[in-house]
C-alpha cells in the first residue's frame, strides 16, 4: 500500500464542534458514518 501525506487524506467537519478532522485508519470501514471528531463530541451529541 502506498503511503499518503496527511494533507492528502479526506477530511470532514465535526457535527458537534464544527472543527475539521482527518481520516483515521480505525475509521476505514465506517468513514461514511463518522460524524464526530472525538468521543467527547460524540457523547455530547449534536445534529
pLDDT for the residue 21: 95
pLDDT for the residue 41: 94
1-47 pLDDT, tens per residue? 677 787 888 999 999 999 999 999 999 999 999 999 999 999 997 55
pLDDT for the residue 7: 80
pTM score over 0.75: no
Secondary structure, 3-state, the chain: CCCCCHHHCCEEECCCCCCEEECCHHHHHHHHHCCCCCHHHHHHCCC
pLDDT for the residue 42: 93
Amino acid at each position: 500500500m502506498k503511503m499518503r501525506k496527511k494533507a492528502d487524506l479526506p477530511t470532514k467537519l465535526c457535527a458537534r464542534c464544527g472543527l475539521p478532522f482527518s481520516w483515521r485508519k480505525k475509521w476505514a470501514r465506517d468513514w461514511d458514518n463518522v460524524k464526530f471528531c472525538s468521543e467527547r463530541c460524540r457523547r455530547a451529541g449534536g445534529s
